[in-house]
Amino acid sequence: MNINEHDNNTTNKPVDNQRPPIWVGHIEMETNKLEASKQFMLTLGMRLVLAGDEVVVLELRGGTHLVLLQRETITLGEVSFDLMVEDINESHKTFADMNLSPSEISRGNIHDSFMLAEPAGQMIKINSSHVGQYPV
């Protein structure tokens, strides 16, 4: 399967120069270190929308919001979402230069990726982008 096969228009609606009419609104991550997790996400380049004692909302490209939820205890592991960057090599270098300790880059068939541990210990996969020819 060619990764750009998703560019095929099966809805009979024009797609040239139009963004898809739907997108992800909110993704969530639990943390027991809300302030440190917030600062980490800001360091990655997210924009602060709201900061409270129990919840932080950060904005990503495209208007998606990452909602950080304060919890007393969390189950450590890989979060249920991944993040994408335009240039995986440049982002890896930037994050390494910021002492964020990214893992080595794993080269894949669809994405190249690396992992980052945020301050509470949650693991976040950073993927290379493969957007198609149309605006997103």
pLDDT tens, position by position, 103-134:
999 999 999 999 999 999 999 999 999 876 66
pLDDT band, residue 77 (cuts 50/70/90): very high
Q: What pLDDT does residue 121 have?
A: 98
> What would you report as the CA-atom Rg of the chain, rounded to the nearest whole angstrom?
17
Q: Does domain 27-128 have CATH number 3.40.228.10?
A: no
- Give the percent of the chain with pLDDT over 70: 84
Task: Identify whether the C-beta of residue 118 lies closer than 8 Å to the C-beta of residue 111.
Answer: no
Looking at residue 2, its pLDDT comes to 46
Q: Count of CB atoms within 10 A of residue 120's CB?
A: 19
Positive/negative CA dihedral, 46, 51, 63, 117 = positive
- Whether the CB-CB separation of 125 and 118 falls below 8 Å is answered with no
Q: What angle do CA 112, 95, 135 make, to 5 degrees?
A: 55
Eight-state DSSP code of residue 13: S
For residue 93, which of 109, 82, 104 has the smallest C-alpha distance?
A: 104
Q: Please tell me the distance from the alpha carbon of residue 133 to that of residue 136, in angstroms, as a whole number.
A: 9
Encode pLDDT of 85-108 as tens digits: 999 999 999 999 999 999 999 999
Strands of the 26-31 sheet, one edge to the other: 26-31, 65-70, 55-59, 47-51
Residue 15: per-residue pLDDT:
58
